[in-house]
Structure 1
Amino acid sequence: MSEFKIAAFINDATFSASLAHACNGLGYGLSFPKLDQYSLTENCAIIDLNDQKLHPFQLGESLKDNEIVVFGLVNRLNKTLQKKATDAGFDLVFQKSLFCKNLAIIATQVKHAR
């Protein structure tokens, strides 16, 4: 198992399966923490900005308070959501499909940034 670990705050079953497949292929760790019991041992957290049940912007702000790299994920890029995420402290916002396709590059950048 790689040193790279992702905490995923996502309820989208289809995307979760794609993400798990991508992580397995690259040897990355993946966890799906509960909202009230998340661990900060991961290299980064990803939050589904389209899932309002997660209160994604509040969650992102609380994770940023603990100095973890936080990415927002969206179904389609949306300037309003992107601005709101940036204002809440998210490091970057990705389209879900692009995140999985570029996971190895993203992981390398996160590892070098820390």
Structure 2
Amino acid sequence: MQVTSVINYKGGVGKTSITANLASELAWLGYRVLLLDMDAQASLTFSFIKPEVWQQEYASSKTIKKWFDAITQQGAFSLESLVTTPETVNTEIKKSGNGGRLDLIPSNLGLINVDLELATQLGGANIRR
């Protein structure tokens, strides 16, 4: 298994575009690809799932934030339950006949505060007064 990360703190440099296109091409070529969207803007997620579908089917229970929330409450669980296989892109990938697949663990707009929550829990500090 290979892991590739696309990371840059600056916005607007093409992280989402490169990631979505690289993942799609690898899946087209026959690889099984898992995308993990860790950006609070959820742009990568919205590249594969319509925002209204995300809101109805994923926002409350099938995003990476659910996993982070479980960690802060001492109830971590397997990420496997968050994996989804976006239908539209995978319908196209199947046309290649190479057996590839693209899976996604969606992001959540609420990730914006997760780093602070984890830091306070790990460091013993309290940001709430």
TM-score range, shorter chain: 0.3 to 0.5
TM-score (norm 1): 0.33
- The structure showing larger relative contact order (alpha-carbon pairs under 8 Å, at least 6 residues apart) is 2
Larger strand share, 1 or 2:
1
Structure of larger gyration radius: 2
